[in-house]
């Protein structure tokens, strides 16, 4: 994983293009540019680990290009639960819940990611309050879609959820 400047990117990361992704949809171009300028861009190669199980969850990542695989871990068991593609985010739940990562994230192919720290998220709220509301709605929609896919997988596999 290598930190890069926006000007070094070989991919189209213009606000116009990024608005096609679910996380950036309906955000103003100025607010997207703010996130690009203030966030950290990471160029990752196929097979690179972006974060590991148990690491601090003080940020989330959005995919600007490429694909990532998320491996959920519980105890000693580990399972790939989903692939994260262009315009989607991963790590938001850990950041908001203030807990450690519950799995690991690996690049399925060469990718470009934007890391948004909790501090940048707060600054975004202060600088672009209207767009912040839209971003929260977009992130919530993606979480809801993920919950639906995972709960459907439980039903398809006849998994019984036990309450402690």
Q: Where are the domains of the chain?
A: 2-153
pLDDT, greater one: 103 or 150: 103
Given a cut of 90, whether residue 79 has pLDDT beyond it is yes
pTM of structure? 0.91
Q: Locate the DSSP E strands across 11-155.
A: 40-44, 49-51, 59-65, 68-74, 77-84, 89-90, 103-107, 111-117
pLDDT, greater one: 112 or 148: 112
Q: Would you say how long the chain is, in residues?
A: 164
The encoded tokens of residue 40 equal 């950290």
Architecture of the domain delimited by 2-153: Sandwich (2.60)
Predicted local confidence at residue 116, as pLDDT:
98
57-64: average pLDDT: 97
- 29-38 and 118-127 helices, crossing angle to 10°: 150
Query: What would you measure as the largest C-alpha separation in the chain, in angstroms?
Result: 51
54-77: average pLDDT: 96
């Amino acid at each position: 994983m290598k930190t890069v400047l926006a000007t070094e990117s070989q991919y189209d990361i213009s606000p116009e293009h990024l608005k096609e992704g679910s996380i950036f949809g309906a955000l103003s171009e100025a607010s997207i540019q703010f996130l690009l300028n203030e966030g950290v861009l990471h160029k990752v190669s196929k097979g690179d680990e972006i974060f590991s199980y148990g690491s601090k969850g003080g940020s989330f990542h959005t995919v600007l290009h490429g694909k990532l695989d998320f491996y959920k871990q519980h105890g000693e068991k580990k399972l790939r639960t989903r692939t994260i593609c262009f315009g989607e985010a991963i790590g938001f739940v850990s950041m908001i819940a203030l807990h450690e990562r519950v799995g690991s994230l690996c690049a399925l192919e060469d990718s470009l990611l934007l890391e948004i720290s909790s501090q940048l998220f707060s600054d975004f709220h202060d600088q672009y309050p209207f767009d912040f509301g839209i971003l929260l709605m977009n992130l919530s929609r993606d979480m809801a879609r993920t919950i639906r896919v995972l709960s459907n997988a439980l039903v398809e596999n006849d998994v019984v959820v036990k309450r402690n």
